[in-house]
Amino acid sequence: MTSDQHSEGTARPPPRHIAVIMDGNGRWARAHGKARHAGHRAGVRVARSITRACAQARVEVLTLFAFSSENWQRPVDEVNGLMRLFVEALQREADELHANGIQLRFIGAREQLPEILRRRIAAVEAKTAANTGMTLVLAVAYGGRWDVVQAVRRVAIKLRAGELEPADIDEALLDRHMSLAGLPPPDLLIRTGGEQRVSNFLLWDLAYTEIFFTPVLWPDFTPEELAQAMSFFRQRQRRFGRVAGQLEALAD
């Protein structure tokens, strides 16, 4: 049997964890003769519909990149508008997310966020903490490099306290200190907006993630495009460094 025939016959598991770089709001707004903020508002509506679609598709974890460490460098009006939008969206969506059993988790440098947003985040995390449905991770003021640094710092504190020895430091230990600790790593990363780069998203966690780039701008992204990304994922053979023959032997 050829490997192609084999892969057709083998049901590949769907992605457990999907991560998304929601890019293209500004270009969408410009194309519609609107201010950038209108693009961000449209982007929130799409985040809502894709969250629903992922929950319906039984995705276990959805991680959305909403604001990067580097996005602080944008014009202050845009940054303030985004922070207000996050506060409003959390207030508006919290009850429905909770009713659907979704657990919310935030990753990022939350001490950098405005007080009102920090309070809202803490409230929605507490409210949904016991939920057992999909985990929705929102990356706000997040950077992959920041994540590695905060993990190393927490490990260093334990070293100094004598709770750890240098020889205890291995991949599993560092993994337990990363922001996504306890969750499966992303199987599929989707980036909208046409750029083919990672822009300091989950650097540690993306080691073996399949990446789907699409030129569609985030406010135009639909559940049908999500389905396309999932079907792209199902066609990938995830070898994790092995050769195809080994995987076929394992599947038999």
Task: Provide the annotated active-site residues.
Answer: 23, 71
CA angle 209, 213, 215 (to 5 degrees): 165
The residue (of 23 and 187) whose beta carbon lies closer to ligand IPE is: 23
Three-state secondary-structure class, residue 142: strand
| Residue 67 contacts which entry, Mg ion, ligand IPE, none (Cβ below 5-8 A, type-dependent) | ligand IPE
Token pair, residue 26, equals 């500004």
Q: What is the rounded CA–CA span in Å between residue 182 and residue 240?
A: 20
Nearest to 51 by CA among 206, 165, 43, 207: 43
Q: At what angle do helices 115-128 and 76-99 cross, to 10 degrees?
A: 20
d(CA 71, CA 23) in angstroms, rounded, equals 12
Task: State in angstroms the smallest separation of the CB of 212 from ligand IPE.
Answer: 15
Residue 7 partner contact from ligand IPE, Mg ion, none using kind-dependent CB cut-offs of 5 to 8 Å = none
The position carrying tokens 């598991």 is 13
Q: Applying CB under 6 A, which residues contact ligand IPE?
A: 21-27, 65-68, 71, 82, 193, 195, 197, 199
Out of 19, 22, 23, 191, the only residue in the binding site for Mg ion (CB under 5 A) is: 23
Nearer to ligand IPE, 83 or 159 (CB): 83
- The piece of 18-26, 75-83, 174-182, 204-212 that touches Mg ion (CB under 5 A) is 18-26
Q: What's the half-sphere exposure (Cβ side, CA atoms, 13 Å) at 103?
A: 13
65 vs 146 by CB, closer to ligand IPE: 65
Q: Which stretch binds Mg ion (CB under 5 A): 7-15, 16-24, 77-85, 242-250?
A: 16-24
**Tokens representing residue 81 in the block:** 């508008």
Q: What does 93 bind: ligand IPE, Mg ion, none (CB cut-off 5 to 8 Å by kind)?
A: none
CB 229 within 8 A of CB 59: no
Distance, in Å, from the CA atom of 96 to the CA atom of 118, rounded to the nearest integer, reads 20
Q: Which is nearer to ligand IPE, 58 or 197 (CB)?
A: 197
Q: Is 82 in the site for Mg ion (CB under 5 A)?
A: no
At closest approach, how far in Å is the CB of 248 from ligand IPE?
Answer: 38
Output the residue with the shortest Cβ distance to ligand IPE. 26
* In the complex, least distance from residue 251 CB atom to Mg ion, rounded to whole angstroms: 40
3-state secondary structure of 213: strand
Is residue 9 a contact partner of residue 53, using CB atoms and an 8 Å limit? no
Task: Indicate the residue among 178 and 202 with the shorter CB distance to ligand IPE.
Answer: 202
What residues make contact with Mg ion under the rule CB under 5 A?
23
